[in-house]
Amino acid sequence: MDLKENKRPLRFALLMAAFSALGPFSFDMYLPSFPQMMKFFGTDAFMIQASLTACLLGLSMGQIVTGAFSDVYGRRKPLMIAMILYSLSSFGCAFAPNITVFIVLRFIQGFAISAGTISSAIVRDLYSGVQLTKFFSLIAMIRSLAPLLAPIAGGIVISYTTWTGVFIFLGFLGIFLTAITTWKLKETLPVERRVPGNVMESLRNFRSLLQNRTFMGYALVQGIMAGGIFAYVSGTSFIYQKIYGVSPQMFSMLFALNGISLILGSQMVRGLAGRVTERRILLTGLSLAFFSSTTVLVVILTHGPLIALVIPLFFFVASNGITGPASFSLAMESQGHIAGSASAMLGVIPFLLGSVTSPLVGIAGEYSAVPLRVIILTTSSLSIIAYVSLVKKTKRSTQRSYT
């Protein structure tokens, strides 16, 4: 497939977004059933949130492998194998006999989800520059429907079945994506553009990426921001339902509002790309994240009403819709020769940090919102520090070297 041959960008964006949305569906659909799962497995909130952590760890580790494989063997084959593994692990989760087995299967499920990030490498195979930013923001906008639809779908499913129905649904979703990969997806990385040699040689690309200060600056900005989002995802189920007493269905609606905020954020990036520099767009998102997370801190400290918490969280999530596409485009721009590895690195860091922040939200118990306020304000601040210390400082040093 060549860029000039891709005359249906919306349909192609829908296809890429479908793979990218696999993660949000796997994380968000079962959030409304957290309290139900606690009773089923006879465990506490920390262990249930550990299942989210296991999935994030599997996703983080898997991206290293799938990213390297996609640079050596192409995009299509690793994606197809992973979708089959995802289906099997999802059905396994539905029939897990205890919380330990469930957590292990969630790790395997996360490992399979990691191949969905190959879609980012596919996009980089076909687009560059402003077109890359615009197209990725289009994908982000479509993908933003997943956090909107997933908790609603999860709430509907557990209204008629139990939490096991969620994972049966995900299993069939995996079968659907396997079929799409088999019959609809064309290979975008020709043999002559693949990394020569074996996978171990491809893995060495990660060393060069780690040594690239500018790339790592953008990667850390995206990753740290995502760590705050995962804390929000993990914590709001208990905060809304236990502290504010909302029903699982109402929680699904409140959580879905943030899908709208992600759409607005990514649509803003798409509208400004080409007229405003990606760096300025990124700084706008970082500023919004800092001010909204500060407001969340004030609301929780003063025990404000539910609406006073929902509004700043809405803008905090929207900021991620801005920083995500902008930081991805800036990081990937000069990495076309190792797009699979670069895309994997950009995927590893968010989910690795998310695996740390997710369980920390529940460290003070299911009736405390204090950890959430601390984490999202900290991640907002650290993302700004990462940009200033790595990207901006490196840029200034480069400019001085030419004067």
Containing structural domain, residue 39: 8-393
- Does 3 reside within a domain? no
The burial class, CB within 10 Å (0-12 / 13-18 / 19+), for 42 is exposed
Q: What is the chain's alpha carbon radius of gyration, rounded to the nearest angstrom?
A: 20
CA distance 373 to 293: 7
CA distance 138 to 146: 14
What is the residue-wise DSSP string for 330-374? HHHTT-GGGHHHHHHHHHHHHHHHHHHHHHHTTTT-TT--HHHHH
Beta strands in 133-288 (DSSP E): none
- Does 402 reside within a domain? no
* pLDDT over 90 percentage in the chain: 19
Within the chain, which residues score under 50 in pLDDT? 1-5, 7, 399-403
Report residue 128: phi and psi, to 5°: -155, 165
- Does 399 reside within a domain? no
**b/e map of 219-258 (b: 16 or more CB within 10 Å)?**
bbbbbbbbbbbbbbbbbbbbbbbbbbebebebbbebbbeb
CA distance 5 to 7: 6
Considering only CA atoms, which of 352, 53, 388, 342 is closest in space to residue 221? 388
* pLDDT, tens only, 368-400: 677 888 888 999 999 999 999 988 766 555 544
Q: What pLDDT does residue 68 have?
A: 73
- Does 401 reside within a domain? no
Q: CA angle 18-168-351, nearest 5°?
A: 50
Q: What pLDDT does residue 253 have?
A: 79
Q: CA angle 43-48-52, nearest 5°?
A: 160
CATH of the domain at 328: 1.20.1250.20
List residues bridging with 273 in a β-sheet: 276
- Dihedral sign computed on CA atoms, order 124, 130, 133, 137: negative
Considering only CA atoms, which of 395, 1, 372 is closest in space to residue 185? 1
Considering only CA atoms, which of 213, 267, 232 is closest in space to residue 380? 232
The answer to whether 345 touches 137, Cβ cutoff 8 Å, is: no
H or E, element range at 321: helix 306-332
Q: What pLDDT does residue 396 have?
A: 55
Q: What pLDDT does residue 220 have?
A: 92
CA distance 249 to 344: 35
Give helix 45-73 / helix 118-126 axis angle, nearest 10°: 40
- Does 292 reside within a domain? yes
Tokens representing 245 are: 């007493």
Cα dist from 151 to 7, 102, 145, 237, 324, whole Å:
33, 20, 11, 10, 21
Cα dist from 259 to 145, 195, 331, 336, whole Å:
6, 37, 24, 30
Q: What pLDDT does residue 378 have?
A: 92
SS3 category, 96: coil
The answer to whether 327 touches 319, Cβ cutoff 8 Å, is: no
The answer to whether 68 touches 364, Cβ cutoff 8 Å, is: no
Task: Report the number of distinct structural domains present in the chain.
Answer: 1
Q: What pLDDT does residue 282 have?
A: 92
